[in-house]
């Protein structure tokens, strides 16, 4: 089976708005999270959509589903998120496994809840590539020169831009593979390796590139929110 895992376990502290996590802020007539879920609802290949939600906001999310997504609520499952990205993914997978034991071929398409402009084409490309690769990472070509500094003071390297990409989501992989790799990490590695695909890379697995879109922005700051609202014509 194919699942979507929407990562919404954060509290949005970088947004500077303390009363509500950023995924619940209004974008047009609906919360950002609802926009994101709606994209995955439109992908017929996806069997279930599982939301990894901060424990304090589970009931609120369930109310949103009833209000905005009642026609599709049978496909949507709410799980408690973890303390970071990878523990949220782990919690989502364990929630799925508790409802129906996962198999070696079951795939999960993980996506940031605050990337509401992901395209259906990108989601479907992730699914297609995951069938023949260990994992899939969505990327766009780097448009700016990337400067490396190992001491945060002087430049140590300027890599060739033609080989560099900016990572987005979705990131897609087989659920059992993720659990096996994550559980093999030390506690120190778990604290450092906050990106799921990086776990696959350091373990020598093949991670394919799916073509992202520059419009697939992550709404992290107030400026991002203003850009997102302008993209949908929201004054």
- Cα separation, 160 vs 69, in Å, equals 45
| DSSP-derived 3-state class of residue 230 | helix
Torsion angles phi and psi, residue 141, rounded to 5: -65, 140
Distance of alpha carbon 206 from alpha carbon 97, whole angstroms: 25
10-residue mean pLDDT profile of the chain (235 residues): values are 94 64 94 98 98 96 97 97 95 97 97 98 98 97 95 96 96 98 94 94 97 97 95 83
State the CB neighbour count (10 A cutoff) for residue 186. 9
**Residue 65 and residue 38 in contact, taking contact as beta carbons nearer than 8 Å:** no
pLDDT digits (tens, 9 = 90+) for 10-25: 775 555 555 789 999 9
Q: Closest by alpha carbon to 50, among 105, 115, 116, 2?
A: 2
Q: What is the predicted pLDDT for the residue at 13?
A: 57
User: Which class is 2-231 in CATH?
Assistant: alpha beta
Per domain, the residue ranges of the chain are 2-231
pLDDT digits (tens, 9 = 90+) for 22-53: 999 999 999 999 999 999 999 999 999 999 99
Angstrom distances, CA of residue 95 to CA of 54, 91, 164: 14, 6, 35
Q: Give the integer Cα–Cα distance in Å for 54 and 171.
A: 20
Indicate the burial class of 43 (C-beta count within 10 angstroms; 0-12, 13-18, 19 or more): middle
DSSP-derived 3-state class of residue 30 = strand
């Amino acid at each position: 089976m194919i699942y979507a895992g929407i990562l919404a376990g954060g509290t949005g502290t970088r947004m500077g708005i303390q009363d509500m996590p950023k995924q619940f802020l209004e974008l047009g007539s609906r919360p950002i999270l609802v926009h994101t879920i709606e994209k995955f609802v439109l992908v017929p290949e996806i069997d279930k959509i599982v939301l990894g939600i901060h424990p304090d906001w589970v009931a609120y999310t369930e109310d949103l589903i009833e209000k905005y997504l009642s026609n599709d609520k049978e496909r949507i499952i709410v799980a408690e998120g973890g303390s970071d990205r990878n523990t949220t993914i782990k919690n989502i997978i364990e929630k799925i496994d508790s409802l129906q034991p996962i198999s070696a071929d079951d795939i999960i398409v993980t996506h940031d809840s605050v990337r509401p402009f992901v395209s259906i084409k990108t989601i479907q490309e992730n699914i297609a590539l995951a069938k023949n690769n260990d994992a899939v990472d969505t990327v766009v070509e780097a448009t700016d020169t990337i400067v490396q500094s190992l001491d945060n003071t002087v430049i140590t390297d300027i890599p060739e831009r033609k080989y560099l990409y900016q990572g987005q989501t979705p990131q897609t992989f087989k659920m059992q593979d993720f659990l096996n790799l994550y559980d093999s990490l030390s506690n120190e590695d778990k604290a450092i390796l906050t990106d799921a695909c990086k776990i696959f890379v350091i373990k020598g697995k093949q991670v394919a590139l799916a073509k992202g879109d520059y419009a697939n922005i992550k709404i992290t700051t107030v400026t991002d929110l203003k850009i997102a609202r302008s993209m949908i014509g929201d004054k």
